[in-house]
Amino acid sequence: MTDWTPFTARARTWFETLRDQICAEFEAIEREAGSDARFAYTPWTRQSVAEGDNGGDTGGGTQGLMKGKVFEKVGVNVSTVQGALNPQFAATINGADAANPRFSATGISLVAHMANPQVPAVHMNTRFLTTTKAWFGGGADLNPPLPFAEDTDEFHAAMKAACDPHAPDYYERFKAWADDYFYIPHRKVHRGVGGIFYDHLECGDEAMWEAHFAFTQDVGRAFLAAFPAIVRRRMGLEFTPADRQAQLEYRGRYAEFNLVYDRGTLFGLKTGGNIDAILMSLPPEAVWS
């Protein structure tokens, strides 16, 4: 059986590098807008949630949070945790069960809520997990309260460019998965204009790990290339009180999805994650009419 520990360390290093690149770019955008806002970083330690943790090293992470002129609220979090899952929750996780509840997970999670309603909100998350199996998951999706076709097309083109070198069917598969996943059943609407979503890209051996890791890196690079360009194009546009109201109502839908349906939120809460880091995805202000 493969020891995935050094591979987890490599994935963690990449996620931390990607975080640093993204945060530097977002801070640069704030400078361009005349703001001195910067990310504040708060470390946290995972709390044991199951007997199998045995009070050992359970890992933790760092929450990065910035509130500025362009980014009303943006969180960029990296975590690396390990231990034992609650037996009931273990039954819902790929490769885990009550008899084998051990897990490890490392990943980056980003959500940005923008001050100008003309600028889309965005989500990006990539991760590597191990139980009795090892796999990558993640994706990125655009969430504009006031959609522009140009932005949607550009974002999807970037995701397609990340997918195509790895498998000819990745983009269509993962786009459809995002459309299905980022859907709010009780509202009968999608959360945004989509992107890609993938999970359980299993690593049966080291070669498969390298392939899936390369793809996951390309998703992060594609996001870093595409989203800041969209922000710069839209952040100076004028907007009306009606635009702001539409944004606040849209944020209510976003919050509903993340609190009711999002698997990442549930995973964090069930594995002893930091509450503030888990719920950083919630908007700073929203309305329900």
The answer to whether residue 157 is domain-embedded is: yes
- The helix/strand/coil state of 66 is strand
Q: Which two tokens stand for residue 41?
A: 């970083």
CATH number at residue 48: 3.40.1500.10
Neighbouring CB atoms inside 10 A of 223's CB total: 26
Count of structural domains within the chain: 1
Residue 62, class by beta-carbon neighbours within 10 Å (0-12 exposed, 13-18 middle, 19+ buried)?
Answer: middle
The answer to whether residue 77 sits within a structural domain is yes
Residue 51: what pLDDT? 55
Q: Is the pTM of this model over 0.75?
A: yes
Residue 185 falls within a domain, yes or no? yes
Answer yes or no: 123 catalytic: yes
The answer to whether residue 195 sits within a structural domain is yes
Catalytic residue among 113, 123, 156, 190: 123
Q: Note down the domain range covering 141.
A: 5-281
Those residues of the chain that have pLDDT short of 70 are 1, 48-57
List all residues 6 or more positions away from 203 whose beta carbon is below 8 Å from its beta carbon: 2, 4, 7, 134, 135, 136, 209, 212
Tens digits of residue pLDDT in 59-93: 999 999 999 999 999 999 999 999 888 888 888 89
Residue 218 lies in a domain: yes
Q: Minimal CA–CA distance to 216: which of 60, 63, 108?
A: 108
Q: Quick check: is 286 in a domain?
A: no
Residue pair 140/159 in contact by the 8 Å Cβ criterion: yes
Asked whether residue 287 is assigned to any structural domain, the reply reads no
Please indicate, yes or no, if residue 288 is contained in any of the structural domains. no
